[in-house]
Structure 1
Amino acid sequence: MANSDIPVVVGLDNGGNSNNATVLDATGRFLVDELVESPCQVLEGPEAAVEALAAAMAQVLAHTGTPAELVRAVGLDTPGPASATGVISAKGSTNFSQPAWRGFDIRSALERRLGLPVTYHNDGNAAALYAHHSYFGDEAMRRSSVSAIVGTGLGGGVVECGRVVTGTAGMAGELGHVHIPMYGLLAEGQPVPLCNCGFVADVESVASLTGIRRNLLPYWLTRFVGHPLGEVDLLQAARQVRQYGVDGDPMALKIFEQQAMALGRLFTIVANFVDPDAYFVGGGVVEASPEFREWFLGTVRTHTTLRTEQAERARFALVPDLDMAGARGAAIAALATLDGRSGSADPQPGR
């Protein structure tokens, strides 16, 4: 429940099927400790989707008993590709497929609809920001981190001194499209993987659900003849691989080992460009059993080559509260804009 004297910001996470919302007060306390979801209506076009975001905000304010007049700013995140200021790519995207979305400025549209300042990040950057602040707390503004989030694609972000590095066009932190060496990662006779973006041998071509479906599963099914997933549509089979991995299935573990190796090679490259304090991993592995999560993260770390000085300082961890991470990261970004703040408020998850 909100304290009626404390200003708040709202975080809105726009997904492919639903919006998730949260409320963060000016002391750094989240007023929501569970998902507060509502339909996103992106398939009905920009106008309907902006109204759905406004409705999501009204819903979470009612859920927390927060008066609308306490809201000082709103943080928004959406899937990409989009500019650093929230303009959807002129080429469109998987989530924003209608022609009306191409080049649409969703941040400004929501700002006009709400009459409040709106900050914007893509969903990977927002989750990375939340992971950073959640992990470092009081030290967040003095630390750096890189997050890789395995989903349909590979998202993530780079955070330096508590702020997301966006780049001039908003494309910084597109970790999925970093090329990595494949020697020693691919098995004998395994084809070089292709990415949906047209790249060959980037991280996403291995470490993503799409990479499993297009590249990894078709190969490994030829090595594990008679495997039950060979009788299932490839998309459905790819979605089931994680549970097989949790159950210790040898083929599934080969697939996830390759994904972990790919992330380790990505982090090795990152170490030489950014040298962050922490490396975070998120996605489906976070939703698996604790034993599987720890095995996967340990494998990522094993395949991350660091100098001795880096290895003594670097930390590896999982992105927490993944379903809520986007909305919470968006709220943190909004809070940083209040009263010229530097973003030093330290969110307190679950409080």
Structure 2
Amino acid sequence: MGSAGVPVVVGLDNGGTSNNATVLTLDGQFLVDGLVEIPSEVQAGPEAAIAALARALDGVLAHTGVPRDLVRAVGLDTPGPASATGVISSRGSTNFSQPAWRGFDVRGALERRLGLPVTYHNDGNAAALYAHHVHFGPEAMTRSSVSAIVGTGLGGGVVEAGRVVAGAAGMAGELGHVHLPLDGLLAPEQPVPACACGFAGDAESIASLTAIERNLLPYWLTRHPGHPLAAEPPARAAKLVRGYGERGDALARAIFTQQAMALGRLFTIAANFTDPHAYFVGGGVVEAAPEFRDWFLAAVREHTVLREEQAAVATFALVPDRDMAGARGVAIAALEALRGGPAPQPLVA
């Protein structure tokens, strides 16, 4: 709960169904321990969605007992694709499908609605930023990391010296669309996987829920005739694969082995571009039973090829608090933007 009149920033995580909000004090303390959610209203269009984000801010302030006049800035994340300044792609996206969303400045609209400075990141970058600061703590501003967030698609983020690398158009860290070497990754006669973006053989075409449904499960069912998942509708079957994997099912483990190999090859590429201190894996694939989660992360590590010098200093870890990572990440970003200056200090106590 709020205390002693300490100024705060608010983090708002916008999703296709819900908005989640958090509060971070200027001295680096989160005041929310769990989800504080309301409907996001994104399917009702921009005006309704911006109003819902404003309600989310008011709701989390009421939840924490923080007066509105103590809010100094707001962080916002949404699913991509969007520019570095929060302008939704001119082609729209899965969550922003109506024509009114195409090219819509969601960050600017929220800033005008709230009368507060708003910092924007996409949801993958937000989760990456949170993982980085939680993992490194006081050393976060002197460390680097790469995160892969496995969900419906494959998001990610690159963090250098405690800050997200956004890129010129805001599209840095789109790890899902990095092309991977497929030799030894695909099984005999397995078709080259296709991505919804139009690429073939990129990371998302293998390491995502969509990839399981469209590419991996159809192939592996031909190798395991009579498997119970063959009787399920494809979308439902894809969601059930993780449960089978937790129980050691051979088909499911084959699928997740390919996904782990894909992430390992992705991190191998990242190692030669950014040479990060840490590699983080997040998303639904690791929101699983401990044995499966540990097995999967170990498999990613096994298939990441590092030089001896890199292996001596690099760590592999999971993105913590997946449901809260987005809101917390953009709260950290808002705090960093508010502090500014040439010599930033650690952002999380």
TM over 0.5: yes
User: In 2, distance between residues paired with 1:284 and 1:30?
Assistant: 24
User: Which ranges of structure 2 fall in alignment gaps of 5 or more residues?
Assistant: none
CA positional deviation for 1:285: 2.6
Residue 291 (str. 1) matches residue 291 (str. 2): yes
1:45-64 to structure 2, matched below 5 A, reads: 45-64=45-64
Residue 274 (str. 1) matches residue 257 (str. 2): no
CA positional deviation for 1:338: 1.9
User: In 2, distance between residues paired with 1:49 and 1:157?
Assistant: 25
Contact 1:118 1:334 in 2 (8 A): yes
Contact 1:27 1:345 in 2 (8 A): no
1:1-351 to structure 2, matched below 5 A, reads: 1-341=1-341, 343-348=344-349
Runs of 4+ displaced beyond 3 Å: none
User: In 1, distance between residues paired with 2:184 and 2:340?
Assistant: 49
User: In 2, distance between residues paired with 1:231 and 1:343?
Assistant: 55
- AA paired with 2:245? G
Contact 1:144 1:276 in 2 (8 A): yes
Please give the secondary structure, in 1, of the residue aligned with 2:317.
strand
Contact 1:42 1:48 in 2 (8 A): yes
Please give the secondary structure, in 2, of the residue aligned with 1:212.
helix
Identity of aligned residues (%): 73
CA positional deviation for 1:343: 5.0
- AA paired with 2:329? G
User: In 1, distance between residues paired with 2:245 and 2:127?
Assistant: 25
CA positional deviation for 1:344: 2.6
User: In 2, distance between residues paired with 1:13 and 1:339?
Assistant: 21
Contact 1:281 1:318 in 2 (8 A): yes
- What TM-score results when the alignment is normalised by the length of structure 1? 0.98
User: In 1, distance between residues paired with 2:125 and 2:282?
Assistant: 12
Aligned length: 348
- AA paired with 2:68? A
- AA paired with 1:145? S
CA positional deviation for 1:288: 0.1
CA positional deviation for 1:5: 2.4
Contact 1:332 1:343 in 2 (8 A): no
Please give the secondary structure, in 1, of the residue aligned with 2:257.
helix
User: In 2, distance between residues paired with 1:133 and 1:319?
Assistant: 11
User: In 2, distance between residues paired with 1:114 and 1:328?
Assistant: 19
User: In 2, distance between residues paired with 1:196 and 1:278?
Assistant: 29
User: In 2, distance between residues paired with 1:68 and 1:286?
Assistant: 37
Please give the secondary structure, in 2, of the residue aligned with 1:75.
strand
User: In 2, distance between residues paired with 1:66 and 1:247?
Assistant: 45
- Which deviates further from its counterpart, 331-340 or 18-27? 331-340
- What TM-score results when the alignment is normalised by the length of structure 2? 0.99
Q: Deviations over 1:96-117 (max 9, x none)?
A: 0000000000000000000000
CA positional deviation for 1:347: 1.9
- AA paired with 1:345? P
Please give the secondary structure, in 2, of the residue aligned with 1:146.
strand
Please give the secondary structure, in 1, of the residue aligned with 2:204.
coil
User: Which ranges of structure 1 fall in alignment gaps of 5 or more residues?
Assistant: none
Contact 1:127 1:329 in 2 (8 A): yes
User: In 1, distance between residues paired with 2:338 and 2:100?
Assistant: 32
- AA paired with 2:52? A
Q: Deviations over 1:104-151 (max 9, x none)?
A: 000000000000000000000000000000000000000000000000
CA positional deviation for 1:2: 1.1
Contact 1:150 1:284 in 2 (8 A): yes
User: In 1, distance between residues paired with 2:255 and 2:86?
Assistant: 35
Contact 1:4 1:70 in 2 (8 A): no
Contact 2:2 2:31 in 1 (8 A): yes
CA positional deviation for 1:345: 3.4
